[in-house]
Chains A and B, each alone.
Chain A
Amino acid sequence: MKVLYFAWLRTKIGCAQEELSPPANVGDVAALMEWLKGRSPGHAEALADLSAVRAAVNQEFVSLDHVLAADDEVAMFPPITGG
């Protein structure tokens, strides 16, 4: 599974993307975020408040209860501010 981070999630976590194999009990995006918090203090800080975090799976916006597959591309980021 490829996990991408953008904006302040990227700077707090300290990398733009990682290739990960979460355990089988990590079923949806919220569970993935909970599991990621254990990887480093940076992950824990970036994902401390999930109400401030949005996600996309395979480049489509999803809610945090979206069910994940092993080869998904998962992106985590704050609400977008383009234009």
Chain B
Amino acid sequence: MTATIIRVQEEDFDVGEELARLSEGTARMGAVVCFVGLVRDVAGVDAIESMTLEHYPGMTEAKLRQTVSQAEKRWPLEGCLVIHRYGHLEPRDRIVLVATASCHRDAAFEACRFVIDWLKTSAPFWKKEKSADGEYWVEQEHSDREAARRWEKD
């Protein structure tokens, strides 16, 4: 049985506590890989003071569930966790946590990379950054689309 945890929340999360929760009640996990996305204080030449993340309640959770279920089909996972924050965030704040657990490390590493790449182009979130120049909506990165696309090849 695979442990799946998906949460979209305004509040911060504790990585250690979340990883402990993922592996609760099972000794089959030989490897857990986690990715933590943080707010940077730079975007191009501008210093970022804060960021607001908006999302589409309902569709966001559905898209995260679809992404995780794709990962579970492609790799023999024992567990998968995705927590994504929304609302007001400041530099150094955690935005997203993806953790994947498997018997062996290869599947855990690959699945973790897949989930974060896929999430970036399939979960309906929009970032608005605030710098000294004012607030502006962030445009989609070409590199993010390419990162997601490379998983379509196989």
Contacts and interface: CB of A to CB of B under 8 A. Distances in A.
B68 interface: no
A75 B59 contact: yes
Given A7-B128, A59-B62, A81 B123 contact: no
Contact of B56 (A8, A59, A78, A81): A59
Interface string B6-17: 000000000000
A78 B137 contact: yes
Interface in B119-154: 119-128, 137-141, 144
A80 B139 CA distance: 8
Contacts of B120: 80, 82-83
B141 to A, nearest CB: 8
B38 to A, nearest CB: 11
A80 B121 CA distance: 6
* Most chain B CB inside 10 Å of its own CB: which residue of A10, A56, A59, A61: A59
Q: For this complex, into which size category does the number of interface residues on chain B fall?
A: 20 to 34
Nearest to A82: B125
A4 interface: yes
A72 to B, nearest CB: 13
Contacts of B95: 83
B128 to A, nearest CB: 7
A6 interface: yes
Contact of B125 (A4, A56, A59, A80): A80
B119 A78 contact: no
A58 B140 CA distance: 23
A56 B120 CA distance: 16
Nearest to A80: B124
B18 to A, nearest CB: 17
| A-B residue pairs, 6 tightest by C-beta | A82-B125, A7-B126, A79-B140, A59-B59, A83-B120, A81-B138
Interface of B: 37, 53-56, 58-59, 62, 84, 95-96, 116, 119-128, 137-141, 144
Given A77-B56, A78-B139, A81-B127, 10 more contacts: A56-B56, A59-B58, A75-B124, A77-B124, A77-B126, A81-B125, A81-B126, A82-B96, A82-B119, A83-B123
